[in-house]
Amino acid sequence: MTLPPRLRWLWITFAIVVLDRATKAWFEARTTEGWRYEVIHNFIYLVHSRNPGIAFGVLADSPSTMTRVILIAGSLVVIAVLAWLLVSGKTTGAMGNAGLALLLGGAAGNVADRIFHGAVTDFFEVWFGSYHYPAFNVADSAITLGAVLILLDVLFGRRHETPHQVS
């Protein structure tokens, strides 16, 4: 059985979800929240943190159950749109398809955390001098890389030109 060309990109999505969930499960099983280990002095740390909010901890302090419901519902809508864009062939190149597959995998990984654990587990932390980049995970990395690939595809991807009609 061969998959239609558009569905072949879903292996990236699946790989991201599996890798994201496996790394989060490993951290959750072996460390406690607040655990910290310096990998490269003053640069890269492994940490165990949980983010019930969205990117960069926005809405993390909201005590409302409705906030969680809205975040999950919004994520599911985004996942549905990304899946439709990927499967329907709305992008033209490999870079755009790979970007959509990475975005889809990252979004699915993080929404699974929200649904089953109430928060997203993060475990990488990076410091640039005194600047501290918020903790992130494999899904967040996939989302960032996917967004970059889509942007590059939009800016530099090949375009199919339509023939000019002669009147």
Model pLDDT for residues 3-12, shown as the tens digit of each residue? 666 778 899 9
Q: Which domain holds residue 49?
A: 10-154
Q: Looking at residue 3, what is its pLDDT? A: 65
- Which residue in the list 20, 113, 140, 153 is annotated as catalytic? 140
113 a catalytic residue: no
Between the alpha carbon of residue 88 and those of residues 6, 78, 91, 157, the distances in Å are 7, 15, 9, 18
- Which residue in the list 20, 61, 113, 122 is annotated as catalytic? 122
pLDDT at 38 over 60: yes
Q: State the CB neighbour count (10 A cutoff) for residue 9.
A: 21
Per-residue model confidence as pLDDT tens digits over 131-163: 988 899 999 999 999 999 999 988 887 765 555
Decide: residue 138, CB within 10 A, 0-12 exposed, 13-18 middle, 19+ buried: buried
122 a catalytic residue: yes
Decide: residue 31, CB within 10 A, 0-12 exposed, 13-18 middle, 19+ buried: middle
- The answer to the question of residue 56 being in a domain is yes
- The answer to the question of residue 138 being in a domain is yes
- The answer to the question of residue 34 being in a domain is yes
- The answer to the question of residue 146 being in a domain is yes
Report the chain's mean pLDDT, rounded to a whole number.
86
Provide the domain count of the chain. Answer: 1
